[in-house]
């Protein structure tokens, strides 16, 4: 009977009609949210502010991880740095790994220094490998001391795939290629940036991460 129902359009169309009678279906909601995600970047800021409230409610309360996923993607396209980063940070605490990785990708597309800082903090704190890899990949879109420091720590990771991703991102961040040996990258970075020392903004990230590893 189940097989007959799945191949007979009468059953599926009747079920769909019942769903629509009850209100907007999840399928339709998801379709509308995807459309918003594609268009929100081109909207006037006043309209973006209006939709930001809806996005926040979805991120906070929607039971569907797929809906929250598309909400953080849309939030990453908002013109307001404060609003966008605030909503993305909410998404980083989501229980869904898919939502967290979407937040990292959104941060990779932002150009604010705060976006780099959030990525670096996420990289140093997450225990989820997929989220870590997403943060590493997102950092390749940024330049400056902070992404270099955050990625330099990863060069000492025990996972070869993670180290490879860090070197790949560093090629874009630094605009240089020091080969496939992480020790060569570490030496090159330390030669120009100095050794790890606590007490300064860029060194704190590496120093705190090293202390965390040594305690494990």
What does the pLDDT average to over 104-108? 97
| Mean pLDDT over each residue of the chain, to the nearest integer | 84
Q: Own/partner pairs for 205-209, CB < 8 Å, 24+ apart?
A: 205/120, 205/124, 205/146, 205/149, 205/150, 205/153, 206/149, 206/150, 206/152, 206/153, 208/124, 209/124, 209/153
* 12 confidence band (pLDDT: 50, 70, 90): very low
Q: 125 vs 17, 141, 200, 209, CA distance in Å? A: 46, 20, 19, 9
Which tens digits make up the pLDDT trace of 26-68? 788 888 888 988 899 999 989 999 999 999 999 999 999 999 9
Quick one: average pLDDT of 135-157? 96
Identify which of 165, 180, 175 has the alpha carbon closest to the alpha carbon of residue 142.
175
In eight-state DSSP terms, residue 180 is T
C-alpha distances out from residue 137 to 62, 104, 126, 158, Å: 28, 8, 15, 18
């Amino acid at each position: 009977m189940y097989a007959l129902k799945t191949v007979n359009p009468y059953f599926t169309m009747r079920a769909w009609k019942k769903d629509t009678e009850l209100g907007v279906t999840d399928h339709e909601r998801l379709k509308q949210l995807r459309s918003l995600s594609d268009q929100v970047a081109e909207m006037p800021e006043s309209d973006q502010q209006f939709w930001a409230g809806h996005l926040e409610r979805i991120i906070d309360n929607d039971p569907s991880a797929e809906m929250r996923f598309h909400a953080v993607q849309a939030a990453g396209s908002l013109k307001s740095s404060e609003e966008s980063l605030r909503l993305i940070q909410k998404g980083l605490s989501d229980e869904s790994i898919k939502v967290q990785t979407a937040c990292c990708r959104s941060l990779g597309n932002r150009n604010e220094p705060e976006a780099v800082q959030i990525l670096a903090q996420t990289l140093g704190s997450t225990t989820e490998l997929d989220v870590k890899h997403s943060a590493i990949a997102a950092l390749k879109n940024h330049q400056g001391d902070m992404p270099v420091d955050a990625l330099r720590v990863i060069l000492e990771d025990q996972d070869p795939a993670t180290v490879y991703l860090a070197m790949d991102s560093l090629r874009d961040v630094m605009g240089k290629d020091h080969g496939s040996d992480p020790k060569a990258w570490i030496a090159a970075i330390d030669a120009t940036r100095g050794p790890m020392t606590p007490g300064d903004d860029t060194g704190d990230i590496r120093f705190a991460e090293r202390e965390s590893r040594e305690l494990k």
